[in-house]
């Protein structure tokens, strides 16, 4: 009986992981676009962001998943930054950058 329960728990955890991965890749809403020779410009709902190499935040400060930005070929996952509305974290594959809202 304990073995069945453990198997069911593993299956449920696996399905939850697949759902999270699906939500953050294929099923995520496209909320913006990214452009520039080295993807230095991010635009979300008409608001422009640029890479900030000297940002006072880093990727460990990332908050909620917001959606996807694309350049047509590559999908970038966009995350909020906790306690900082003017910054976003943009990640593709294993790389990412901090973007700051342009005023």
- What pLDDT digit, counting tens, does each position of 13-66 carry? 888 877 666 655 566 788 999 998 888 999 998 999 999 999 999 889 989 999
* Global pTM value: 0.73
Instruction: Supply the pLDDT for residue 29.
Output: 86
Residue 8, H or E segment: helix 2-23
- Residue written as token pair 């099923």: 27
User: Quick one: pLDDT at residue 68?
Assistant: 92
pLDDT digits (tens, 9 = 90+) for 69-90: 988 888 899 999 998 989 999 9
β-bridge partners, 70: 33, 75
Inter-residue contact 33 to 43 (CB < 8 Å): yes
């Amino acid at each position: 009986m304990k073995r069945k329960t453990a198997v069911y728990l593993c299956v449920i955890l696996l399905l939850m992981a697949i759902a999270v991965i699906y939500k953050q890749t294929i099923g995520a809403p496209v909320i913006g676009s990214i452009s520039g020779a080295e993807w230095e410009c991010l635009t979300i709902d008409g608001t422009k962001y640029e890479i900030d190499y000297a940002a006072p935040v880093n990727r460990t400060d990332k908050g909620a998943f917001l959606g996807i930005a694309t350049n047509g070929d590559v999908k970038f996952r966009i995350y909020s930054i906790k306690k900082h509305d003017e910054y976003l974290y943009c990640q593709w594959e294993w790389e990412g950058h901090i973007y700051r809202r342009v005023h």
